[in-house]
Amino acid sequence: MKNLFHIPASDLSGTEAPEIFEALIKTPGLLVERIISRGQVTPEGEWYDQELDEWVALISGHAMIRFEPDERIELAPGDYLLIPAHRRHRVEYTSVDPACIWLAIHGNL
C-alpha cells in the first residue's frame, strides 16, 4: 500500500530537488500520476499543448496555472480542473513548503 502524501526524505534532499512524476496507473490511453512540485514552473515562453485531456487535482500546496492568452487560475488543496486536449497552458507558480502534490489523469475524458 502507498500513500499520496508520503514524500521519501531522499526526494527532499538538496536545495533544488527535481519535480517528481510517479505513474500510479498506466494503460494504453490512460495515465494516472502523482506529481510532486516544489517551486517548479514551466520555463518562460513555453506552453503545454497536450494530445490528451488532463484532469488535475491539487492535493496539497498552492499553485497557479495560466491558460493562453492570459487566464490565470489559482489552486488550493482540494481544487481540481479539466484541461481539454490542446488547450495551451503553463504552470506559473508552485509552493515549496508545503510541496505541491498533484493527482493527474490523462486520457480521452
Domain containing 31: what range?
27-107
How confident is the model over 61-103, as pLDDT tens digits?
A: 999 999 999 999 999 999 999 999 999 999 999 999 999 999 9
* 66 in a structural domain: yes
pTM: 0.87
* 101 in a structural domain: yes
77: domain CATH number?
Answer: 2.60.120.10
Q: Is 90 exposed, middle or buried (0-12, 13-18, 19+ CB in 10 A)?
A: middle
* 60 in a structural domain: yes
* 13 in a structural domain: no
* 81 in a structural domain: yes
How confident is the model over 5-51, as pLDDT tens digits?
A: 888 765 555 556 688 999 999 999 999 999 999 999 999 999 999 99
Residue 8: the pLDDT is 73
